[in-house]
Amino acid sequence: MSAAGGDPPTARAPYTCPSAPANAGAGLIGVLGPDGRIHNLRTPMTVDADFLNAAKAAGPPEARMRFSGTCQTSACVQWTGSRCGVIDRAMEALQAHATPDLPPCTIRASCRWFAQTGPKACATCALIVTDTRIAAE
Ligand code: SF4
């Protein structure tokens, strides 16, 4: 993996999806703060069905938290054929500037977005909410 994002990230596996569905066994990687940004956990945490059932009482967990799972590559609708399209579109739309200090992250070593794009992905990552239904309301 290249921190500069220079390696083709296509077939090598497994990468970790940083915007996965809230399924039992997923990793909880960050929580939406009142500032509208995702604040990453510093310690890995795996969620179970009880956690998710409690979280769903307040609406879709993916609207308030970010979860990780195995990147599904071509089995995911976000796969462009060679990479994950989510981070590319988000970077284009949000134009976040990378900072010298990377945010804490429990999945960076295997993160699909970091493998594709490097530190620029981390600057945009904090602005991405997986499920925007609540925000849209
Ligand atoms: S883009 Fe950066 S901060 Fe976001 S999950 Fe990947 S490595 Fe972590």
Q: How far apart are CA 26 and CA 45, in angstroms?
A: 8
The sheet carrying 27-32 orders its strands as: 16-20, 65-70, 27-32, 38-40
- The string of pLDDT tens digits covering residues 56-110 is 999 999 999 999 999 999 999 999 999 999 999 999 999 888 788 999 999 999 9
pLDDT band at 133 (very low <50, low <70, confident <90, very high): low
5 alpha carbon to ligand 1 midpoint, in Å? 13
Nearest CA to ligand 1 atom 7: 108
Average pLDDT over residues 41-55: 97
The residue among 94, 106, 128, 123 whose CA lies nearest residue 5 is 123
Q: How far apart are CA 137 and CA 126, in angstroms?
A: 21
* pTM of the shown model: 0.88
SS3 letters for 11-69? CCCCCEEEEECCCCCCEEEEEECCCCCEEECCCCCECCHHHHHHHHCCCCHHHCEEEEE
pLDDT at 44: 96
Ligand 1 atom index nearest CA of 30:
5
Determine contact, residues 55/96, Cβ cutoff 8 Å: no
83 alpha carbon to ligand 1 midpoint, in Å? 15
Determine contact, residues 82/10, Cβ cutoff 8 Å: yes
Average pLDDT over residues 131-136: 62
Q: Please state the domain extents for the chain.
A: 16-136
pLDDT at 13: 64
Q: Residues with beta carbon inside 6 Å of ligand 1?
A: 18, 29, 103, 105, 107-108, 111, 113-114, 121-122, 125
129 alpha carbon to ligand 1 midpoint, in Å? 13
The dihedral region occupied by 5, where left means phi > 0, alpha psi between -120 and 50, and beta the remainder, is left
Residue 79 phi, psi (nearest 5) = -75, 130
For residue 76 the two structure tokens come to 């995911």
